[in-house]
Amino acid sequence: MKKFILTLIAATALTLPAAAKDALTVYAYNSFVGDYGPGTKIKAAFEKTCDCDLTFVALGDGVAMLNRLKLEGSNTKADVVLGLDTNLTAEAKATGLFGKHGVDTKRAMVPGGWSDDTFLPYDYGYFAVVYNSEMLKAPPKSLDELVNGDPTQKILLEDPRASTPGLGFLLWMKQVYGDKAADAWKKLRPRILTTSPSWDDAYALFTKGEAPMVFSYVTSPAYHMIEEKTEKYQAADFAEGHYLQIEVAGLIEASAHKALAQKFMGFILTPEFQNEIPTTNWMMPASATTDPLPDAFGKLVKPAKTLLMTPEEVAKNRREWIDEWFKAVNG
Amino acid sequence: MAKPTSPITRLAQGSILCAIALGVMPLLQFLLVQGVPVFSDHGISPVVFFTLKQALLSTMLSVVMGIGVARALARQSFAGKALFLRLLALPMAMPAIVAVLGLVSLFGNSGLFPGFIPLYGFWGIVLAHVFFNLPMCVRMFYQALGNAPEEGFKLAAQLNLGERAIFRHVEWPALRPVIARGAALVFLLCAASFVIALSFGGASATTLEVAIYQSLRLDFDIPRALQLSLVQVVLSLSLIGLVAHMFDAAALTFSLRQTARFRPRPRTGSIIFDWCLIAIAGLLVLPVVIAVFATGLGALHFSALTFQALGTSLALGFASASLALLLALPLARAADTASHLVSLAAMILPPAVMATGWFVLLRGLPDSAALSALLIVLLNGLVALPYAAATMTSGFLKITPAHDKLSAQLGLTSLVRWRIVDFPLLRTQLAQAFLMGMVTSLGDLTAIMLFGTHGIITLPSLQQAEMGHYRGHEAAGTAALLLLLCGALTFAAQHWGERHDPT
């Protein structure tokens, strides 16, 4: 017995140095974490600032993360959740799992400013209709021109039930057309080649040349300019303004590593984190970077007006609006 | 075939039912929290109607053409037949989006034959479903036709029976038990269509699966997800019941020699007909496979990541296929209705619902890659089970009461009997069933998306990650690699299965 206890103590002593290293678990979406996303470099940069282990747990997307939290409740293993967008933050707050981030929100530079003390933005991007300039000589100059334009010039959309950009387009239509959104959808319907289950699928069909337009981001052409040296793909500048997506992170109040989680929240708006955003996440940084933005970013559309609904408005009406959309495109 | 249910069969049935119960039970607590939903139609009837319409049509086309092509292949011999049959295994391994892009390369607006078929719409969905399921039916039915007794063909030749009579009395009885399984499987696969339905049909092609996904994911309305699942279960069960009733496996083939070698020579008209069928199947399947290789082979790329994905895919696929085969053996051997239904369980109940339940159950455990891997294997194993069971069913038909009697007379213990009687007879089917399990798991993306990845990266998830980062070119290369791998496995399985042909 004595021997056993001694062994136990020895074993505990041996494992202590490892256990002393603080561990931080961050839920993020797949494309952030995977080898093509910014996750790996951000992990390395953060671990330099602390004697800790950062583990990313990759979940499908923002919605999948929120569902995971709802299923786990206060038992969640997450210390930080990174990758929700403002369409989800009202619901995320309602879980009661998130605490205050404690970071000065003035450091966050997103269109329209930022004042939420629960969620902190780490990047943003404007949605846009991206077109192939070789196939389409006269792109629509407004959402209204898109809706009422030539039905032989098709667009690829994403399904709002399965895809974040899909929901973004639905909200854009709703904000511009209000009560008349259903009519606008009916008019747009003949122009829709198909409604893909995800951005990946829609964009793959677009680059194959299936349709001259796809619903994507203002930053999409930057990828093609930088990585493929082509200006063939352009974003259409819409007169009504562009709908904005702001991606945010939040910390879990009940986290066992709350100090470290707070440290990570502070890290999000530093250049070490932000430098990775433009050319790996292909979004706009939410704070100053030390590396200048690539030239291609200077050529992108700068929306004249920002469209964005409040998280509460979206949470309250989303289901009803999706029903409205479903009836309009099927009617 | 009223054999008493063996304890092993009961164990297999019990384990699967247990896994299902563990998936559903934890979700029932949400009924208490979120309330039991009043059954509201809420726009679900058009969804049910659409699901049935496309799934029934796709199933009928796949099964009827499958019978014709399988019979044509069994009657005609030609150089490259073995290769052709092996190539037919490739569509099963394609992640849905790879097949979608392959079909688009051919028939899309930017494809080789634009406007040949209206791809975006109802017929595009049916075409894609037939592309996936016809090859599976052909392979399954071709195997089953191998069970048709040689004596039957000889007798038919002596009696100078016509081809229709031969089909009715010799070939049909061999096909019949597998048709019910094949049709049920195709129907369930088409009813659960998600990526294909939306990619080609858009929002108007909403299947029940999409509606379940929406309530489970976007709305987080678990009671409604359960309600919709119930609709799916009832629909599926009625259809499977109907098909099983129509093709009741009552006829028992009896034969001494196993593989039909002797075939009466068909009439010239039939030969032309056979060749037309083979050509149609070839034209439907091969160009897409070629298109995927044509865009992908030039983009093959190898990094540490590729090898990691390759290794992980193989390991997960191997484990899932082993599980599927282990469960399929006793279920296929029993060959009763209960076993048939149980083998289809993970497809009757939407896997996403089951996975959510498992997750709720295990949420107290520490998250780890090992746990994710285990759940992925469990889910993929259950999803691959119907393929393995269907293949093994046609295998067990070779084991006749004569074998049972002989083994009993010789007093063989079950282990010895397995080694010298059953195993040699089943070898080809074992290899095929394992292959089918492996190939379906290799192409799977659902399980890995449901359970979170924890650094687990497979070929389909790598392909998706590449697509998600604008790297369509690399994604095409990864898709081609996945198909190459499946091609190699198909050859290996065929080789192993035929090394000791019992006849």
Name the nearest CA neighbour of A102 among A260, A226, A287. Answer: A260
Chain B residues with beta carbon closer than 8 angstroms to that of A66:
220
Tokens of A185: 């959808």
- The reply to whether residue B452 touches residue A58, judged by beta carbons under 8 angstroms, is yes
* Maximum Cα interatomic distance, chain B, rounded to a whole number of Å: 72
Sequence-ordered list of residues with C-beta below 8 angstroms from that of A139, at least 6 positions apart, any chain: A129, A131, A133, A213, A234, A236
| Residue B185 predicted with pLDDT over 50 | yes
Phi first, then psi, for residue A196 (nearest 5°) are -75, 155
Which is it for strands A242-252 and A306-307: parallel, antiparallel or unpaired?
parallel
Tell whether B122 lies on the interface with A, counting CB pairs under 8 A: no
| Residue A249 predicted with pLDDT over 60 | yes
Tell whether B200 lies on the interface with A, counting CB pairs under 8 A: yes
Lowest average pLDDT, out of A224-228, A255-259, B152-156, B230-234, goes to: B152-156
Tell whether B441 lies on the interface with A, counting CB pairs under 8 A: no
Q: What interface predicted TM-score (ipTM) does this complex get?
A: 0.86
Q: Residue A97 in contact with residue A114, Cβ under 8 Å?
A: no
Please name the residue that has the structure tokens 């008493």: B4
| Residue B257 predicted with pLDDT over 80 | no
Sequence-ordered list of residues with C-beta below 8 angstroms from that of A64, at least 6 positions apart, any chain: A29, B217, B449, B452
Confidence of residue B2 (pLDDT cuts 50, 70, 90): very low
> What DSSP letter does each residue of B60-102 carry, written as one string?
HHHHHHHHHHHHHHHH---TTHHHHHHHTTHHHHS-HHHHHHH
pLDDT for B1 equals: 42
Name the nearest CA neighbour of A170 among A243, A115, A228, A234. Answer: A243
Distance CA A109, CA B273 (A): 70
- The reply to whether residue A67 touches residue B217, judged by beta carbons under 8 angstroms, is yes
- The reply to whether residue B200 touches residue A30, judged by beta carbons under 8 angstroms, is no
Chain B residues with beta carbon closer than 8 angstroms to that of A322:
214, 218
- Which one of B198, B470, B475 has the shortest CB-CB distance to A159? B198
- Which one of A63, A195, A319 has the shortest CB-CB distance to B203? A195
Chain A residues with beta carbon closer than 8 angstroms to that of B206:
326, 330
Name the nearest CA neighbour of A282 among A30, A32, A28. Answer: A32
Report how far apart, in Å, the C-alpha atoms of A41 and of each of A272, A283, B361, B465 are: 9, 16, 34, 17
Express the helix, strand and coil content of chain B in percent, nearest 5 each: 75, 0, 25
Express the helix, strand and coil content of chain A in percent, nearest 5 each: 45, 20, 35
| Residue A63 predicted with pLDDT over 50 | yes
Q: Residue B132 in contact with residue B97, Cβ under 8 Å?
A: no
Tell whether B468 lies on the interface with A, counting CB pairs under 8 A: yes
Distance from CA of B477 to the nearest CA of A (A): 14
Distance from CA of B219 to the nearest CA of A (A): 7
User: Which residue of A33, A164, A195 is the best one to mutate when testing the B interface, meaning the one whose CB has the most B CBs within 10 A?
Assistant: A195
- The reply to whether residue B359 touches residue A327, judged by beta carbons under 8 angstroms, is no
- The reply to whether residue A210 touches residue B110, judged by beta carbons under 8 angstroms, is yes
- The reply to whether residue A31 touches residue B468, judged by beta carbons under 8 angstroms, is yes
Measure the CA angle with vertex B62, ends B183 and B320; round to 5°.
60
pLDDT for A17 equals: 44
Q: Residue B249 in contact with residue B335, Cβ under 8 Å?
A: yes
Tell whether B300 lies on the interface with A, counting CB pairs under 8 A: no
Please name the residue that has the structure tokens 């319907």: A189
Lowest average pLDDT, out of A9-18, B245-254, B398-407, B415-424, goes to: A9-18
Lowest average pLDDT, out of A77-91, A252-266, B35-49, B437-451, goes to: B35-49
Residue of A nearest to B29 (CA): A71
| Residue B24 predicted with pLDDT over 60 | yes
Q: Residue A105 in contact with residue A256, Cβ under 8 Å?
A: no
Sequence-ordered list of residues with C-beta below 8 angstroms from that of A119, at least 6 positions apart, any chain: A84, A89, A92, A93, A98, A101, A248, A249, A250
Chain A residues with beta carbon closer than 8 angstroms to that of B196:
none
b/e map of B132-157 (b: 16 or more CB within 10 Å)? Answer: bbbbbbbbbbbbbbbbbbbbbbeebe
Please give the mean pLDDT across all residues of chain B. 85
Please name the residue that has the structure tokens 């469960």: B327
* Rounded mean pLDDT, B404-408: 85
CA end-to-end span of chain B, whole Å? 25
Q: How far is CA B483 from the centre of its chain?
A: 16
Confidence of residue B421 (pLDDT cuts 50, 70, 90): confident
Which is it for strands A155-158 and A98-99: parallel, antiparallel or unpaired?
unpaired
pLDDT for B126 equals: 95
Q: What is the pLDDT of residues A151-173, one digit of tens each?
A: 999 999 999 988 889 999 999 99
Q: What is the pLDDT of residues B368-390, one digit of tens each?
A: 788 889 999 999 999 899 889 98
Chain B residues with beta carbon closer than 8 angstroms to that of A35:
305, 465
User: Which residue of B113, B367, B372, B450 is the best one to mutate when testing the A interface, meaning the one whose CB has the most A CBs within 10 A?
Assistant: B367
Phi first, then psi, for residue B152 (nearest 5°) are -60, -45
Name the nearest CA neighbour of B278 among B80, B12, B49, B10. Answer: B80
Looking at per-residue pLDDT, the higher value among A75 and A300 belongs to A300
Distance from CA of B98 to the nearest CA of A (A): 10
pLDDT for A12 equals: 45
3-state secondary structure of B367: coil
Tell whether B365 lies on the interface with A, counting CB pairs under 8 A: no
| Residue B209 predicted with pLDDT over 90 | no
